[in-house]
Amino acid sequence: MFPSLRAASYVLVHAPDMVIHNGSTQVVERTVNPESEYLKALPNHLRTFEEVVAYAPNQVYIGNMKPEELREIKEPWFDKPVASASADGPMGRIFEERLLIGLIKACDAFDLVLLEESFTEEVQPDIEALNLPEKYKKLKSGVEIERIQSEIEDRHAEPLVTGGKVVGCVKRAHDIDPNLDSHVILENLVVKATGVLSGLELLKKYDIDPLSIPYVIECSEEAAGDMNQRGGGNFAKSIAEIIGADNATGSDTRGFCAAPMHAIVKACALVKAGVYENVLVLAGGATAKLGMNGKDHLKKDLPILEDVLGGFALLITENDGVHPIFRTDLIGRHTVGTGSSPQAVMTSLITGPLDKAGLKITDIDVYSVEMQNPDVTKPAGAGDVANANYKMIAALAVMRKEIERAQINDFVRTHGLPGWAPTQGHIPSGVPYVGHALQSFLNGDIEKAMIVGKGSLFLARMTNLFDGVSIIMEKNPGVAEEAGVSKDDIRKMLSEALRDFAASLGE
């Protein structure tokens, strides 16, 4: 039996001050050109929380709108707010930066985070309103702002800023080790906190008992460790701890943007093999990617659109006969020997698993590829990434004579979707559609979907290769996993039958 997708949650955190202070484009600019016009103009191009909530792609991300509805809004989307927008959606929620900073403190196990006294009092009710275990709801007392300023100015602490004000800081965890400096600790605490938010939303929206989760796989793109083991880990268990998954252990899976797909495949394998009844796959967001294309956006007088941190959580369970299944026998892989031509890549990821199943490219109702929001990528010169991926799949279908060349645009429209996910690396790679797919399968709108993730391994300078993994999801055929019959059960049934038979002889 194939494993099921039981639940999927998605969160965004509006982080405008983190764009300025922690996004890598801005950090680099401050280092090489601190008086730049870009840095001066940046604060005037940041969006408000209300604008971020009303942004159509963000409404799609948390499930208030279907991806297809974006087609009804003429691009660009940033200047066309959604009138009925809400920060709360069926699949998740959009949070404010101040709550994230409060939660960073709640997630801080080593007293590395200092928050200012009045800010602590202000944010305390927001933290209490989260579905955290009671022991994490009460923030430790705040400190005076002078202490925070001193840590920042004299001891290399990273400031925590929101509303344009310093409200706290993250201290370095070691005097010399660069893996534990305040910049890295802040990035890692943000991954942890946004992963926690994703997990909490999944528990809340789908009424899942955290104690029922035996294993967590975290699949973001940061590394937690020290100078002796830079990527030692482990975000997964640290997140499980905060969301109250006391019966869980876990591990981190890495693979750049392809990591979520690797994590899904591993989770499915663990469930199918009977190692765990269910596995929670989740990831937090990347502060470094905030405002990544900001210079191009400002050149075109656009707002900074990369102003949200993303997160997601998926619960993969034993087949329940209802929820959509992952076809673990139909997995596509970009292997070492695949090569890098677009045709070779798409053949390995798309037609490889289809050929194994005897399916045509057109037999898949929806493909989920790199679902980056074109509002962000087009002004930066990267084009419409989702659309480019769909055209490559369509071109493959033409080569296989499954569609005519003139049908390419029709194929993209009927089997593809417009992109809506923030450019947070692993966040847009295949997984944003999984939650929408869950609903579409349950509604009977689709029968088959293929989720595809790709990762740029060459960025780590260990190989020139990139990577990709795909998996086919299907509507559940409706047969639930049945508990196996043990030898003891058979022995008991036999002895009962023999006893009944003996009794009948004596009558």
Partner 1 sequence: MSLYDGKKVILIGDRDGIPAPAMEECLKNTTAEVVFATTECFV
- CA 248 to CA 381: how far, in whole Å? 44
Residue closer to partner 1 by CB (options 213, 412) is: 412
Length of the chain: 507
Q: Are 97 and 13 in contact (CB under 8 A)?
A: yes
Give 180 or 394: the residue with its C-beta nearer to partner 1: 394
Among 382, 395, 399, 408, binds partner 1 (CB under 8 A): 382
By the 8 A CB rule, do 159 and 202 touch? no
Report, in Å, the least distance between residue 429 CB and partner 1.
9
Other Cβ atoms less than 10 A from the Cβ of 145: the count is: 17
Task: Report the nearest approach of partner 1 to the CB of residue 465 (Å).
Answer: 9
| 106, 23 contact by CB (below 8 A) | no
Minimum separation from the CB atom of position 421 to partner 1 (A)? 10
Which of 205/454 has CB closer to partner 1?
A: 454
Torsion over CA: 433, 6, 471, 468 (sign): positive
Count of chain residues binding partner 1 (CB under 8 A): 25
Helix, strand, coil: what percent of the chain each, to 5? 45, 20, 35
Rank residues 152 and 292 by Cβ distance to partner 1 and give the closer one: 292
Under the binding rule (CB under 8 A), the answer on residue 218 touching partner 1 is no
In contact, 61 and 10? CB cutoff 8 Å: yes
Please tell me whether the peptide bond between 234 and the residue prior to it is cis, using omega within 30 degrees of 0. yes
Residue among 78 and 256 whose Cβ is closer to partner 1: 256
For partner 1, what does the binding mask look like between residues 447 and 476, x meaning CB under 8 A? -------x-x-xx----x-x----------
Binding to partner 1 by CB under 8 A, coded x per residue (else -) over 15-54, reads: ----------------------------------------
- Give the three-state DSSP class for 331: strand
Site for partner 1 in 383-402 (CB under 8 A): 383, 385, 388-389
CB contact at 8 A, 112 and 30: no
Q: Which is nearer to partner 1, 76 or 321 (CB)?
A: 76
Rounded Cα distance, 242 and 109, in Å: 10
Q: How far apart are CA 12 and CA 285, in angstroms?
A: 9
Of residues 29, 252, 307, 370, which one binds partner 1 by CB under 8 A? Answer: 370
Output 351 or 373, the one with its CB closest to partner 1. Answer: 373
Site for partner 1 in 242-271 (CB under 8 A): 256-257
Select from 458, 475, 4, 11 the least CA-distant residue to 258.
458
Q: Restricting to residues 324-343, which ones interact with partner 1 according to CB under 8 A?
A: 339-342
Contacting positions for partner 1 (CB under 8 A): 256-257, 339-342, 370, 372, 377, 380-383, 385, 388-389, 423, 425, 428, 454, 456, 458-459, 464, 466
